[in-house]
Amino acid sequence: MQDKVPTRHTVASDEVDIREIFAAIGRFFKGVGRSIVTTIIRIRQATKKFAKLIIASILLGAVLGYLSYSTYEAYYASTLTLSSKYYNVEMLESSIEEINQLAGEGNHLILANKLNISPELAKQIRSFEVKSVVSTSDVMEMESILQVVERNTELTEDQQDEIRDRLLASANNYIIIVTVYDLVVLDALEEGITRYLTDNEYVSRRVSIAHERLLSMREKYKRELERLDRLKNLQAETFSKLAETTRAGSNNVILGTGETANDPLNVYRQDLEFYQEALDADSELKLNASVEIVSGFTAYSRPASLSLNGQLLLGALIGMGIAYLIILLIGINQALNHYEARYSARKSPA
């Protein structure tokens, strides 16, 4: 007898035929497609069967939408962009949420007092909302860039400071969104929000400290500039006398020899550096505010609330959704009744 030699067509038991995989995937999608078609057919049948209920619900929803439009007052939305290096997102959200709650509760007297506006104008305010111009992911990305910049030895300190200031400038910008019932309130509201945020004790104390520090720095630089001016005049007189007495026929003046020689231009370089520092301190002093308005409120004539057509459409869609929910509940109840009847029939004696 000859032994059977295994051929190459022999398939190991642990191997899976790829045709079976594709067949299973095909059966799955076929089942999904069949379920979708069945669902559509049942919805179509239910729509025909309960057409009166669906139409009545849509009409009722449209009527309620019209009543909602007639009952509730239209409101308008506008945005205010401000910049602050003393507020962060959490602090600003907490401050704005305080006046937002007052507006939502209808506490117009306290709201008017905080915003320094009349109670009549405070009644026209509906809500407040604040958000940062940059997202959390943007802040994390900026922090990563700053770390790379700080590790870059090719950049000078001034260049690093310039890059840091540009990156952080947008991180200090915030948008305040307000909704009001009357656009007249926007002008007074812009000034009121600015004053409300400025009067914050935590922020105002730090603004005052920074103001005193910058003022002291500016005065120090001014004194240094005056001292350097006197030194420049004295140096010019000294060089002029030395040129006339010690080196006849030459306008060159040398102080010391070799490594001990002094560069007369160092005084002028130092003067320019102090002058630039004084200008920077003066600029920071003028811009040292708790909040600055980047762009104020704009009065848009188009309401932010839904129009009449929008309210009618929304009411009709809600009515239709409720109708189909009722149809679904009816179908579930019929199925339960059918199951209960079959279960009772099985348990009853023949």
Read off the pLDDT band of 1 (50, 70, 90).
very low
- Reference 161, options 280, 50, 66, 274; nearest CA is 280
pLDDT of 168: 65
**Within 13 Å of residue 66, how many CA atoms lie on the same side as its CB?**
5
Contact 176, 96 (CB under 8 A): yes
Q: Does residue 144 register a pLDDT over 90?
A: no
Read off the pLDDT band of 307 (50, 70, 90).
confident
pLDDT of 120: 92
pLDDT of 260: 44
Contact 291, 87 (CB under 8 A): yes
The span from the CA of 49 to the CA of 45, in Å, is 6
pLDDT tens, 88-113?
Answer: 888 889 999 999 999 999 899 999 99
Lowest mean pLDDT among 132-136, 273-277, 336-340: 132-136
Q: Which two tokens stand for residue 57?
A: 């619900």
Query: Rounded mean pLDDT of the chain?
Result: 79
**Which H or E element spans position 131?**
strand 125-132
- Reference 129, options 107, 108, 102, 99; nearest CA is 99
Read off the pLDDT band of 14 (50, 70, 90).
very low
Read off the pLDDT band of 177 (50, 70, 90).
very high
**Within 13 Å of residue 113, how many CA atoms lie on the same side as its CB?**
5
The span from the CA of 232 to the CA of 85, in Å, is 39
Place of tokens 């709650």: 101
- The percent of residues in the chain predicted with pLDDT above 90, rounded, is 18
Alpha helices (runs of H) in the chain, residue ranges in sequence order = 18-49, 51-71, 89-105, 108-115, 119-122, 136-151, 157-171, 185-198, 201-245, 266-286, 308-347
pLDDT tens, 248-285?
Answer: 545 555 555 444 445 667 777 877 887 888 787 777 77
